[in-house]
Structure 1
Amino acid sequence: MSIPILPAKLTPPPLPASYIPRERLDRLWTEWGGKRLALVAAGAGFGKTSFLSARARELGPQCLWYSIDESDGDLASFLAHLVCLADSREPAGEQARTPPAASGTRGAGAAGTASAAEVLALLVRALRARGRQALLVIDDLHLAAGAPEVLRFLERLIRFLPEEGTLILASREPIDCGTTKWRTRGEVAALTADDLRLTAEEVAALYRRRFAGATHPESVFRRVVARTEGWAAGVEILLQNLEADSAPAIDAALARVAAAGTGWFAYFADEVLRRLDPPTQDFLCRSALLPRLDPALCDQVLERSDSRTVLERLCERNLFTFAAGDESPGFRYHRLFREFLLEQLRRRHSPAGVRRLHRRAARALARSGAWADALAASAEAGDPEAALRLVERAGEDLLVSGQYQAVESALARIPEGDLRRHPGALFVLGRLCDVRARWHEAEARYRQALRLSASSRQRAELLRLLGRLHCRWGRYAAALALFRRAQAEPGSRHWRTRAGTLVLVGVSLCELGRIDEAETRLAEAVAILRRRGDRFGEARALCLLAANVHRTRGDYRLGRETVQQALVAFQKLGDRRQVCYALCLLADLTLAIGETREALVQAAEGLRLAEALEYPSVEAHSRQTLGRIALLEGSLAPARQQFETVLRIGEALAEQEFAVMPRLGLAEVCLAQGNRHAARLLARAALASALAAKVPWPIGRCHLLLGKLERAPEPACRAWRRAEGIFRRIGARHELHRALLLRLAAEALPPQRRRRILQELMAGVARFEHDFLLREVEPEAGARLLVEALRQGVEVEYACAQLVALGPRAVSPLAALLGDGAPESRGRAVVALSLIGGDGARAALERAAVRSGEAGRAAREAVAELADESTPPLRIRALGELEVHAGPHRLTHGGWRSARALRLFLLLLVHRFRWVPRDVLLDTFWPDAEPEKAANSLRQTIHVLRRTLEPGLPGPHRSSYVRFRNEGCRLDPGEGLTYDVEDLEAALQQGERLWHTGQKERARERLLEAVALYRSDFLVEHPYEEFAAAEREHLRDRVLRAMERLLEIRATAREWEELALLSRRALALDAYRESHHRYLVLAHLRLGHRREALAGYHAYEAMMINEMGLPPAERMRALAEQVVALGPVSPAREG
């Protein structure tokens, strides 16, 4: 009997109108051409047939196609179609894809009588005749899974395939055709559902096919991918249901196609569920109720013992069931498929039956300790009492572990009347609102719980939480009253509760300006925690002591030492959030001391950690410090950017502190730009926030800045006097000194009163080491006041040292003192100018040298010492290998006569040609030596250094390059110095300025120049010299910022090769920055270098997990998914 041949089965099916080429999948054909076999296994609707059909149609006669249906489980039918396929020729035009048996049964008789061996030989000859890259595609092979004769034939076909041919088997589930041997030989390629999933870019291309010119952000399409898991049929159904081109229309379509009986659900019902036997359908529907498909859990809830076997089979058959993919041994359903199954469960079982199943699941989950899932199941079961018991038992632990959504969903299903009867549940609900930043709602819930609670310990905790909310709002008096009530509760007598309350009391007292009381309470808390061995609590209390007492008072060094103790404790405990907090605080205190570069390193590290840990309050503090550093350096655009970011974070957190300080920072930026009006508006807004909170310290800070914004002296001095009064009352010494400094610089005071204030100021800044205030915060006023101190003989040594530290900025007021000061003060001015050096100091001394008297003689000597002897200037390269040119002499690392002289040169170089105090030199090089021996060693080392730089220097002549006095030593490089570090900083500064003014192309040129100058780290051959560490980190951080700009420019310009090279260089400097890893992976992704892209991601992932103890960032995981979606790439191709 003739076997009917269906031509449509031997022709690639037509492509859907919406089909788009998928480059990442098309690249697989090059690889498959060198393989014997390619297996394509994916569930219904993943687009495998469309993908194969598109390629088959492009290849034309080189590709033979056979779509199996249910009738082809019969070997005779199967062979008959293969004979017709093998007999096909290559006619021209549209008939090229139509086999000779296209009409009726022609050729079927011969096929029916041919043996399997004859058909096999015929098929092999047909493939060989088509030459290299010949393909045979057999689609829908799962329909013949129950036909062993067909599978045996395929096994023989695979064995005898010609070298020219490749067999592609496409199926909804894996089919065993004896491929193990070929797999071990590497002759089998595979394509799975994971490879076929659509990416956000591909979904966007499909969308633009439907709506030409659409420009939605990528996040819209990522949302579609997340909802559909890249399932092609699901995306197509969604697009068919779109009624308009808009993001809301997409959301509406997502909801519409999920409705029962339509869209996705109709597809699952027709293509998946109806093809399964009833027991499997029942298992799918009932197990979909569980939050995870753990086999043991399924056995308990479904009351069976074979769940693992069933789940493994479903996974093998690609029935929208996948391995969990993490460390757990379970499985999961496709999200949309699970929604469909839950709908089927509600249709097939009564509501009471579904609730019973939920209750059974809740009990099983609670027994296993899965509290969040148990809570959700109890709520779904409509059992509020059970849900309330679980909330009261495990709710707070769930919040601590970050499972907010689970608690919130469960609580939302509990009737309000039931909630109001359970103080424990109200307590948990209040905590949930607290962490969700719904603070007013949290306050209401805490008060409800407080009224109902009979537990003294719970009442104490509720009072503490209410007090913390008031602290957040700046209501410190109300907070203090609540903390006092908490202390009075019998339940607060436990040492941990007592110490925690003391800490909160101390913080509130400090904010109210009662610093001495605050210090007492915080010290009590530290003592309790130390006595009990609570290292974490002690370290946390030490941080708060430093932040709220030492910092406010201006005891910055004591505060830094305190925070360093806490930081070490947090590092030993491995608490990364607290390490991040301590780093942020340490940076703030280090900046206040004046160690700007070290503060920059600490703040940048704190910011990096805060972003990785999603710790917004610490991120805001770190950015505030970075903004202040940028402001001090004159980088106004970066400073503005940091302060504006802090302000946005503060608005999101609704914290009072971030309503004041960033506005003051922005006001100072505006003042530096000459925009007094904008600065005044910002400062007044900050003052309004501070006054509303009634916190004295920020109120005083606002008055300080408002005084600087006044043009007339009298209103300015009135504002400073207000600030002075506040700071005196609360004991804020640093800010008091700043107010006194500004007053003295601007206000006309009676001589005796002026001298008294000057003495108080100079004694205070010397005692508390507030040098930074004079040198960097208020340098102009500081220089004038220091010169006045010299004139009046107030703290002369300290004033002279600070003027020298100010350098060229002090020359003008010192020159004025040379002209009108008393002889003694003129002599002090000469000493200071000679130590400062430079053209300005030399010119001032030359003018003074023509005068008679002791001061004139000293000026002439100083001029002689500073005179230019026509010595060639130094040329220094310190970025990378050290290289020094002193005239004709060239010195490299190995050319120094003395290691000690080299170290001295490096220390002087780090101080950038400024005077280095003698004590600093002795403490650095001879810390344990007797003073006289150390001084002698210093003189000898200076002698060797001079002879190294100037080998021909005559004995009695002064060195041109190394200046030395009893007070200190410095390098004098001469006029016309060439120093690569200064060239680097000039290029960086200009590049940053151009960047922030929008001149991106010119900024690019200067930043590229800077990166080229950075051969390697500063003094890279001397990694263990501590005095060079801060300079090294400062320069590296600035270069990394430049590289960040350039990476952004390269990525925007789609310069992928250059982006990859620059990313690798950036990673060599800092392997911990996520952006560097991201740009490297992105570059290789866009270049199609899958192996390199995956290697880059895996290096980042290993670093995050092994070194930082954190999971990879979400956007890096999303990027990795795009890389994986490229599919496997052959070594030959990638090579």
Structure 2
Amino acid sequence: MQMQQHSSVLPTPIAANKFYPPRIKASQAIARHPLISARLQSDQADEKLIVVEAQAGQGKTTLVHQFLKHHHHPYIWYQISDDDRDPVYFLSALLQAFSPHLDDFTSSQLTDIINNSQVGPMDLQGLVTILLNDLETHLDGHWYLVLDDVHLINDARLSVEVLTHLIDASPQSLGFILATRHPLTVTARALRDNPHLIYLDTKDLALGVRDIEQLYHDILNIPISRTQATGIRAVTDGWIMGIVLAAHPLTAEKKKRRVTGMPHFPEAGTDTNILSYFEVEIFSQVPAHLHETFLKLAFLDEIDVSMFSRLGVAEDTRRQLMEMADTNFFIYRLDEVNQTFRFHHLFQDFLQIQARRMLEKSVIDTIHRQAAAHYLANDLIDKALKSLRNAEDYHGMELLLKQHGLTLLARNRTMTILAVLQTIPEGILQEHGWLSFFYGLLAIDTAPGHIMPFLQTARRQFHERGEMFGELMALTQMIYFHFAVTGYYRAGAELLETTRLLLEQSIDQLPPEITIIAARNLAAGYCFFTGDMSTARQYGELSLNLAISKKSKNFQASTRWILGYIGLLSGNRHDVVNQIEASYPLGYDPLVSASNRLILKLLQLTALLMYGAFAVVDKRIEASKARLGQNIVRQTVAAPFIYIFSTITMVSTGRASEAILQIEEGMQVSATAASPHMTSQFLQWRAFARAILGHKEPAIADIEQSANLRETAGSPYYLAQNHALHGATLAILRKFEQAEVLLRQAQHEADAISCPSIVMCALAYRAWIAHEHHNDEDMARLSADLLKLMQTHGYTYFYGWEPTIMGTLLSAAYHRKIEPEFALSCLQSRLLRTPIGADEPLPLLTINILGTFYVGQAGDTSLDITDFSGTQRELLGLLISSPGQSVSQDQIQLTFWPDSDPDKARKAADTLISRFRKTLATSLSAPVKHYLKVEKGYVRLKNVAIDGVLFLALGKKGLHHAGRHQWWQAENMFTEAFSCWHQMKWIEHFRYDQGRCLWGGDYRLDARYLLELGQPPAVPRPV
């Protein structure tokens, strides 16, 4: 007969008895009605949280059960076990716990995720939220969730986080009762400074004198006097287990006897005395022929009768267990059909101690092996693994993980496997290839700096044994480790060719999932480790096609991510956008793990930054930093990159001082920020920023240290980028000769890996060096190469962009008719400047009317609303709302003086325009004629940037993308449009509402409408 399991669509078998309190006959348990009436009154029935923290044997479970029955509270019982140290098992079992009690309760989305997705630490909070949302609609009235033996997960951090969020986010209709032997590590708000928390401890549960009399008279059938009860109370402090151990009715003779003297009771909670009492008073009453059977059964967490034949136990064992359970004899019945039992934990401890004294170790190990065989036959692989560990059968564990390890991973039992492996000494782990491999695979989140030796050991053993499958998996994980954790790209590059050959040789025999992972990691390795974009793309497409055929959204997400980066680094904007658009819905799909959703966001952010969408980048970074409070997110490579991206944005927009502060904060954000790979990037950007500020010596020190770290870390792409920024830094510091050498080297390296963005940086600073040397021919040639390359690949920006230097180069290019239209577009859109004559570029006049009002130059505020008269504001409103910001003088006259004599109106108009011109001139650094032109009967604003006009243009672009279901591009347009608003509040700047004419309605609603369109209707909302 197989172990009774709770029916479920989830992949993890869970014993049904986990969801019921131990079956104790009412006649065998003392009623705690006085305590319930005093501390757990009926008017407290809807309390959010009740904590019962008391020592072993103090009757916690019995009290909780009686409280629920006494007040007729509906409840769900959940017995915490060691299995719950695995947070995914904990969630799976919690989901199943509710089903028998709530009609038609399901959580199809959560079930689907657990069955079909890779659940990682970052997913857990979202999954708890899904469970609670589904649960809330099924709770009728107030329910309690009872969690017994919570102390068993006290040091299981992720499971504690699951429980913490479960309590904090639960609906008011769900209360919690937590029973524990030790203080809780749960940090839920309901436990902190909660005046309504009901807390009972050991003293509260201790039996009083009357309770002891009742126990002896009604339960134990042993008459005692009040004096004797008082003495027992004084000796035991009312400790229930101590009293029961000394007076348990084991035989009919003992039931009839009368207590005539004071027995020696064990002191409260003293293990040594407890075990002595078990030996003398309890175990001696078990039939002698069952002693060895009990000693064997003590090593089982649950005693399943179907295992008896395999274990060779006595035939009457089941009957004996039933009788002992009936008399509450430290054995609990776990089901209704007398199929499953368990010992009281104290009795089990005693029996295990006795077994180790009386039985050979080989006998005990055999018990564990037999249990493992039983569990494996019943598809309880994780229990089989634990049993083999208890038997110290490492060879058996090796075989089990080789055959069933991937099945356990598919069932999301990663933490269970890791917890078992962590109990094995490291020396023994490294003697077994599959144990080493799975430890290295699973410990990457908890001990990333510790796992490479295990992966190397596993790879060596697999190679020596000719296990191609194992060697491929180990190499694949080592590649991922160097990419995602260490940043030692040079070391990772050495693994690629062997991994590629193994994959090609074994691809026909591999499970598709392994091929997907191996091909994806090879794609990442060839992209970042060696810069071989062609080979990287080949393996990325292989991985993606398999992921699509398997309909695995999770694998599609991770593979499209690397294909997107291949496109980014090789300058193929079309590929990048296509991959991001294809993966955009996956970024909101709960079947995609949180870690994969995170890297998709990182890809999007990288693309936005490389294309210079700073307004959108700022919004995304702001949202990302809000997530960095999560410890798990801080452990990922995303954390330092977010700070690097913010730094690049600041440097590129003329905020070098802010950039340095951002770098110094980012270098401390996480352990991953301290790797040579990340530190090199922080230092190269700090050197660049310091050079801009004129801090020569610190800049040189930073860039030289960065270069040394980059040589250690490797990667053709990052080496070329480092050389380019090294050269740019020295160029800014006017060390032109050294800079030229480095820039040429960077250009050559970038050409070799087909990376145009780095070539652009090298060309720009070489052109600037030529400009500073007054070498017009070289400057013109290099500028032409730069601008053509930018246009070819769809760039208006590149890493290393410095506003002053680029203003000089673009203005010179425009005047020399080198790609003049493109140069002008970059000047105006990127730098808010426009070329005039041979002078420095003219700053554009900026007019802001969305949520605030000011007029300035190149984004700097010069004039606010108080500097303009009412009529001048109306004129400005008329100009900005007219097509091309041009209006005829006749229209001005008709607007302001419709009933006046034409000559008088003309004079008034001339006076208004003149005064308006003077107001502008008071704060402009350039002549007002460059901004306000009056000619041929028209008044026109020129060389101007108006936030309202930009908002409209961006909104139209967003709608265009939305109409084509290009949701990412639409979202970016809407976000940038929204960034034009300084506050979402209309301020009446213009009496005649000329500003509103731009929109023909309430544009605040239009803006929000546009933003809502950025979320594709078929995509689930983020978890």
TM-score by length of 2: 0.54
Structure 2 residue 728 is the aligned partner of structure 1 residue 722:
no
Whether the 8 Å CA contact 2:397–2:435 is kept in 1: the answer is no
Q: What's the secondary structure of 1:565's corresponding residue? A: helix
- Shift, 1:469, TM fit: 6.2
Contact (CA 8 Å) 1:607, 1:623: kept in 2 or not?
Answer: no
1:442 maps to which residue? 455
What is residue 1047 of structure 1 aligned with on the other side? none
Provide closer, same or farther for how the CA distance between residues 736 and 350 of structure 1 changes in structure 2, counting only shifts above 3 A: same
The partner residue of 2:681 within 652, 661, 668 is 661
Question: Judging changes above 3 Å, is the alpha-carbon distance between structure 1 residues 375 and 525 closer, same or farther for their aligned structure 2 residues?
Answer: closer
User: What is the distance in 1 between the residues matched to 2:222 and 2:1013?
Assistant: 72
Distance 2:51 2:688 in 1: 67
CA distance 1:344–1:351, shift in 2 (3 Å): same
Residue 542, structure 1, aligned to residue 560, structure 2? yes
The one-letter amino acid of 2:709's match is S
**2 CA distance for matches of 1:756 and 1:443?**
51
Do structure 1's residue 482 and structure 2's residue 482 form an aligned pair? Answer: no
The answer to whether 1:742 aligns with 2:775 is no
Within 5 Å, which residues of 2 pair with 1:671-820?
A: 677-710=697-730, 711-714=733-736, 715-747=738-770, 748=773, 750-773=775-798, 777-806=801-830, 810=833, 818=836, 820=838
For residues 24-55 of structure 1, give each alpha carbon's deviation from its aligned partner in whole angstroms, at most 9, with x where no partner exists: xx9997887999xx99996668699xxxxxxx
Shift of 1:541: 2.6
The equivalent position to 1:632 in structure 2, one of 646, 649, 653, is 649
SS at match of 2:379: coil
**Secondary structure of 2:727's match?**
helix
| SS of equivalent residue, structure 2 residue 371 | helix
| Distance (Å, rounded) in 1 between the aligned partners of 2:324 and 2:393 | 30
* Kept after mapping to 2: 8 A contact 1:833/1:845: no
Residue 445 of structure 1 deviates from its aligned partner by: 2.7
Q: What is the SS of the residue equivalent to 2:818?
A: coil
For 2:146, the equivalent position in structure 1 comes to none
Contact 1:566 / 1:582 at 8 angstroms: preserved in 2? Answer: yes
- With over 3 angstroms needed to count, the CA separation of the structure-2 counterparts of 1:840 and 1:412, relative to structure 1, is closer
| Superposition deviation, residue 442 in structure 1 | 1.9
- Aligned-residue offset at 1:574: 0.2
Aligned to 2:240: 172
Query: Does 2:597 align with 1:584?
Result: no
Residue 594 (structure 1) aligned with residue 604 (structure 2): no
Q: Does residue 300 of structure 2 align to residue 276 of structure 1?
A: no
Paired residues of 2:468 and 2:502 also in contact (CA < 8 A): no
Q: Name the structure 1 match of 2:591.
A: 574
**1:703–1:722 Cα contact (<8 Å) kept:** yes
Alpha-carbon distance in 2 for matches of 1:637, 1:47: 61
Contact 1:446–1:466 under 8 Å retained in 2? no
Q: CA deviation at 1:601?
A: 5.3
User: For the residues of structure 1 that align with 2:221 and 2:1022, how far apart are their CA atoms?
Assistant: 51
Cα distance in 2 for partners of 1:307, 1:604 equals 66
Tell me the residue number matched to 2:352: 342
What is the one-letter code of the residue matched to 1:563? I
Q: Is 1:1025 aligned with 2:1009?
A: yes
Residue equivalent to 2:318: 305
Q: C-alpha root-mean-square deviation of aligned residues, in Å?
A: 5.9
In the TM superposition, what whole-angstrom CA distance separates every residue of 1:777-807 from its partner, at most 9, and x where no partner exists?
Answer: 4222222222223322333333333333346
- Write the distance in 1 (CA, Å) between the matches of 2:648 and 2:506: 51
Q: CA deviation at 1:591?
A: 2.8
Letter in 2 for 1:786: L
Q: For the structure 1 residues 865 and 773, does the alpha-carbon distance in structure 2 shift closer, same or farther, using more than 3 Å as the test?
A: farther
Contact 1:486–1:501, Cα closer than 8 Å, also in 2: no
Query: CA contact under 8 A between 2:369 and 2:388: conserved in structure 1?
Result: yes
Amino acid at match of 2:536: A
Matches within 5 A, 1:114-193: 138-139=208-209, 141-142=211-212, 144-148=214-218, 172=240
In 2, the alpha carbon distance for the partners of 1:566 and 1:449 equals 36
Q: Could you tell me which amino acid in structure 2 is paired with residue 701 of structure 1?
A: Q
Asked whether the equivalents of residues 58 and 241 of structure 2 are also in contact (C-alpha less than 8 Å), the reply is: no
- Report the Cα offset of residue 357 of structure 1: 2.8
Q: Which amino acid aligns with 1:578?
A: N
- Counterparts of 1:430 and 1:41, CA distance in 2: 38
Q: What does the per-residue CA deviation read over 1:526-583, in whole Å, with 9 as the maximum and x for residues that have no partner?
A: 4565567665544433221112x21212345642431331343475570213223222
Shift in alpha-carbon separation, 1:307–1:661, aligned structure 2, 3 A: farther
1:245 is matched with which residue?
A: none
Residue 377, structure 1, aligned to residue 387, structure 2 = yes
Matched, 1:393 2:418: no
Question: Larger RCO: Structure 1 or Structure 2 (Cα < 8 Å, ≥ 6 residues apart)?
Answer: 2
What one-letter code is carried by the residue in structure 2 that aligns with 1:344?
A: Q
1:102 paired residue number: none
1:171 positional shift: 6.7
Q: Residue 847 of structure 2 contacts residue 856 of structure 2 at CA under 8 Å; is this kept in 1?
A: no
Q: C-alpha separation between the residues in 1 aligned to 2:508 and 2:43? A: 75
For these two proteins, the number of residue pairs brought into alignment is 675
Q: Pick the aligned partner of 2:540 from 507, 510, 522.
A: 522
Matched, 1:913 2:947: yes
For 1:193-232, what aligned pairs fall within 5 Å after superposition?
Answer: none
Aligned 8 A contact 2:843 2:857 in 1: no
Offset, 1:699: 1.3
Asked if residue 366 in structure 1 is aligned to residue 379 in structure 2, the reply is no
Q: Is the 8 A contact 1:40 1:170 kept in 2?
A: no
> How many angstroms apart in 2 are the aligned matches of 1:296 and 1:1108?
46
| Residue equivalent to 2:233 | none
Q: How far 1:690 sits from its partner (Å)?
A: 2.3
Distance (whole Å) between structure 1 residues aligned to residue 272 and residue 861 of structure 2: 92
Structure having the higher helix fraction is 1
What secondary structure does 1:916 align onto? helix
1:426–1:449: 8 Å Cα contact kept in structure 2? no
Go from structure 1 to structure 2 and tell me whether the alpha carbon gap of 1:514 and 1:174 turns closer, same or farther (over 3 Å shift). same
Paired with 1:277 and 1:838, the residues of 2 have a C-alpha distance of 92
- Residues 423 and 452, structure 1, Cα contact 8 Å, conserved in 2: no
Query: Secondary structure, in 3 states, of the residue corresponding to 2:531?
Result: coil
The 3-state SS of whatever aligns with 1:720 is: helix
Q: For residue 703 of structure 2, what is the amino acid of its counterpart?
A: A
Task: For residue 461 of structure 2, give the secondary structure of its aligned residue in structure 1.
Answer: helix
- Structure 1 unmatched ranges of 5 or more: 1-25, 49-135, 155-168, 177-231, 235-263, 847-857, 873-910, 930-944, 954-958, 972-1017, 1033-1105, 1110-1135
